[in-house]
Amino acid sequence: MKIDDITQASLLYDFYGQLLPKRQRQVTELYHEENLSLSEIAEEFGISRQGVHDALKNGEKALNEYEEKLGLVEKFQRSSDAVKRIDTIIDGVIRSLQSEDGGDRKRTAEKLREVKDIIDKLEE
């Protein structure tokens, strides 16, 4: 599993983990959050490594289906990216306003309009 896949699996678990059946939730948490191996989890529950693998795969499939239907992780990531962009723009506006000439009002207004557009897109 690549780092991005691991991060995505953790985010999906954070958002939807409580919707999983108890055993799938426990296996998924031990695997993704506690970094236990399939063998370690199998020993913990007294089941086969294949049983752990199946529970893990079924849990991951369910988490992906929740995301397809609800899209909460995607919305969270979009919001997070938008906040970062807004923060960068605001820093630029502040620097401009603090400059010796007091900044260009037209450029400041354009930047604030850009912030408003970003926020409007989040509300869609």
Least confident of 4-13, 34-43, 97-106: 97-106
The pLDDT, as a whole number, for residue 102 is 61
CA distance 118 to 15: 24
- Residue spans per domain, the chain: 3-70, 74-122
Q: Is the pLDDT of residue 63 over 60?
A: yes
The pLDDT, as a whole number, for residue 3 is 59
User: What is 3-70's CATH number?
Assistant: 1.10.10.10
CA distance 121 to 65: 25
Three-class HEC string of 58-110: HHHHHHHHHHHHHCHHHHHHHHHHHHHHHHHHHHHHHHHHHCCCCCCHHHHHH
CA distance 89 to 112: 8
3-state SS, residue 1: coil
Q: Is the pLDDT of residue 121 over 90?
A: no
What the block records as the tokens of 65 is: 């289906």
The pLDDT, as a whole number, for residue 20 is 96
The pLDDT, as a whole number, for residue 65 is 97
3-state SS, residue 37: coil
Q: pTM for this one?
A: 0.74
Q: Average model confidence (pLDDT) for the chain? A: 88
Q: Is the pLDDT of residue 48 over 90?
A: yes
CA distance 62 to 110: 44
- 106 vs 14, residue with greater confidence: 14
CA distance 51 to 45: 10
